[in-house]
Chains A and B, each alone.
Chain A
């Protein structure tokens, strides 16, 4: 039977992680994500999992990579200052194709800025934070229910594609309490394990790009490295072809499945002159503002991005196809705005409504912007 809870976003995230099969958490608790670590420290041992409080975020990211290769679904949770420190190991996880989940409950930034206030300043860091070419997957929840659902989805995508997956939440969603419904049947993706054979290749260039992954102790001879490696996993750093093949595969396994990964929810976009694009916490204000504008007879719609990365080009193009103006509402001074502008600029004027300081934009502030730009 489905169960109902009235809990915080961060608690819902922890609950989702356990439901998804997470059995290892390593982290360095930081506001406003602390309740995730707190809840998992209490709950993971009850289901046979492990919780380790690490000495810092660099070690936290390293530990969950190890946990994942040890065969456990693994996660960490942090905020801006921590995600900065994790970047080196995040790159290692992409190169070694290690499924991990990184939850970032975003706060005022840069540096330590505003620990208890909301922001969305880490969106580009999720995309480009580590050096080199790779294709991350990121999800942004707009409700406590979605923080639960998207954490499960993050684990499923990580396992399906052997990639690090980010859950890019914000302080608003992390700390507010709402009702969530936990269904009895939850779809869980199990890790694909390899078959033993004489010519086993742990990084084989197979057609869909995602090679089955053994765990340490399963009896396979594997070498895991951040260096450019061949299909056996051995370093082969001076061969342009090896590098090209490896990195193309790592990118393509995500890009070739964008239609399955990307998710955008739209409302009233078909005849809209103005489309408001948003993700995460600000969606809550956008939905209310657009409903009010419609009630006043204005041709306004909205598009809610569930998956900022890989950026849902096609869905956003379609949502904004008939709009003269597009407004991107986000809690930074312009990050996802540039992506929306890139896909829409030939057909619509794309405007940024960026709000920093820590508070959600209000529906009235968004309505003012809609009125100023058009939609009358």
Chain B
């Protein structure tokens, strides 16, 4: 099965790293295939930035995301700009601290989108004391909600991807995100 994931936010939030961790988890630790792509260029600076991942049980030919099954929005600009191709009955995960789902309510109702709220920025600030780990909190929430990667693989991939010495804080951030949703 092919699952297409898009993560959107503003430059500097770490959406690219979040996508790399999803891809790495799937193909190095879950025995699946994964391809990660991202948009480069002026739009990646400051404004809306996006990272895309395809995860599949079999070989991935076409590497790009056309109609995501899962869309994670970490900024309102990204939410409004990148929700347009989300599949019918798709999954939307938003950070309520940085987005307003009412701005895309019409799309959600029309396409029967499942909406989850994961207050990643607030959790990162309040529980970890580091706003910059909001992306890793979000990876925890994504793992729990979508099960597209396993928890064990995610932890290994985070350990292999974050700067040396920050592993513990990042794993804590992941666990906090994992606990955010039932």
Contact = CB atoms under 8 A, between A and B. Distances in A.
Which residue among B35, B37, B62 has the maximum number of chain A CB atoms within 10 Å of its CB? B62
Interface in A134-192: 171-172, 175-179
**Contact residues of A: prevailing secondary structure:** mixed
A362 B62 contact: yes
Q: Which of A115, A175, A177, A179 counts the most B-chain CB atoms under 10 A from its CB? A: A177
Chain B interface, DSSP helix/strand/loop, else mixed:
mixed
B37 A176 contact: yes
B41 A116 contact: yes
Interface string A258-286: 00000000000000000000000000110
A176 B63 contact: yes
B61 A288 contact: yes
A101 B66 CA distance: 35
B61 A177 contact: no
Given A179-B33, A362-B66, A31 B40 contact: yes
A6 interface: yes
A287 interface: yes
Q: How large is the interface on B (under 10, 10 to 19, 20 to 34, 35 or more residues)?
A: 10 to 19
Nearest to A31: B40
Interface string B4-42: 000000000000000010011001100001111110110
Nearest to A281: B63
B62 A177 contact: no
B27 A6 contact: yes
A329 to B, nearest CB: 12
B131 interface: no
A115 B44 CA distance: 14
A175 B34 contact: no
Contacts of B37: 172, 175-177
Contact of B28 (A32, A116, A176, A179): A179
A31 B37 CA distance: 16
B28 A360 contact: no
A5 B35 CA distance: 12
Given A285-B62, A291-B61, A179 B27 contact: yes
Contacts of B87: none
B172 interface: no
Residue from the set A115, A178, A284 with the largest chain B CB neighbour count within 10 Å: A178
B35 A177 contact: yes
Residue of B20, B61, B64, B66 with most partner-chain A CB within 10 A: B61
A291 B61 CA distance: 10
A308 interface: no
Contacts of B34: 6, 178-179
B63 A284 contact: yes
A363 B63 CA distance: 11
B28 A4 contact: yes
B20 A177 contact: yes
B61 A287 contact: yes
Contacts of A287: 61
A178 B61 contact: no
Given A116-B41, A177-B20, A363 B62 contact: yes
B61 A175 contact: no
B60 to A, nearest CB: 8
A132 to B, nearest CB: 37
Contacts of A115: 41
A295 to B, nearest CB: 13
A31 B27 CA distance: 27
A175 B40 CA distance: 9
A32 B41 CA distance: 10
A243 B27 CA distance: 55
A6 B29 CA distance: 11
B153 to A, nearest CB: 12
Contact of A172 (B33, B36, B41, B63): B63
A35 to B, nearest CB: 11
A360 B40 contact: no
B64 A360 contact: yes
B43 to A, nearest CB: 9
A228 B133 CA distance: 63
A172 B61 CA distance: 13
Contacts of A363: 61-62
Contacts of A172: 37, 63
Given A284-B62, A287-B61, A177 B40 contact: no
25 contacts: A6-B20, A6-B27, A6-B28, A31-B40, A116-B40, A116-B41, A175-B37, A175-B40, A176-B35, A176-B36, A176-B37, A176-B63, A177-B20, A177-B23, A177-B35, A177-B36, A177-B37, A178-B27, A178-B36, A284-B61, A284-B62, A285-B62, A360-B62, A360-B64, A362-B66
Q: List 8 A-B pairs, minimum CB-CB distance, nearest first.
A: A116-B41, A288-B61, A116-B40, A177-B36, A6-B24, A179-B27, A287-B61, A288-B62
Interface of B: 20, 23-24, 27-28, 33-38, 40-41, 60-64, 66
Given A172-B37, A176-B63, A360-B63, 5 more contacts: A31-B40, A175-B40, A178-B36, A284-B63, A288-B62
